[in-house]
Amino acid sequence: MPRLNRIIETALYVDDLERARDFYEVKLGLPPMLKTGTLFAYDVGGASVLLLFLRGQSLRTQMSAGGSIPPHDGSGPLHICFAVDLDELALWDERLQQQGIAIEGRMSWDRGGRSLYFRDPDGHMLELATPGLWPNY
């Protein structure tokens, strides 16, 4: 059986791309890779891509010279987790507080990992986790 190697991109659906841009670019410091009227893409650590779609704007098949992308969308608060180094977790905690972002939860995992939980302006639950969260991380 062929194997899956990793997740390359993940998507969140937002109500306001400019508000999301301020949060992800300015507050979290993610570098932009693509900006259109309905989609912003961000580099996450040089290994992953975070896609922010304007909610409801990807419900039709999107056609281009290269092919087609089937319809998709999402609603409600979703969850994604960003990997961070253990020695930078306290710096992230401080940065989030300086940006006025409330920490909603903290967790110490059995394998030694630690997590911080907070929300973006669209209510998505974001997590910063250190190694030790999962057996493969």
CATH topology of domain 77-137: 2,3-Dihydroxybiphenyl 1,2-Dioxygenase; domain 1 (3.10.180)
Task: Provide the 10 A C-beta neighbour count for residue 135.
Answer: 6
Q: Which ranges in the chain are annotated with CATH 3.10.180.10?
A: 77-137
More confident residue, 6 or 87: 87
109 pLDDT band, cuts 50/70/90, is: very high
pLDDT at 74: 93
52 membership: H or E segment, kind and range: strand 48-54
pLDDT at 3: 85
How much is the pTM? 0.93
pLDDT cut 70: percent of the chain above it: 100
Class of domain 1-58: alpha beta
If you average pLDDT over every residue of the chain, what do you get? 95
Q: Which ranges in the chain are annotated with CATH 3.30.720.120?
A: 1-58
The model's pLDDT over 41-91, given as tens digits with 9 standing for 90+, comes to: 999 999 999 999 999 999 999 888 999 999 999 999 999 999 999 999 999
Alpha carbon 15 to its chain's center: 15
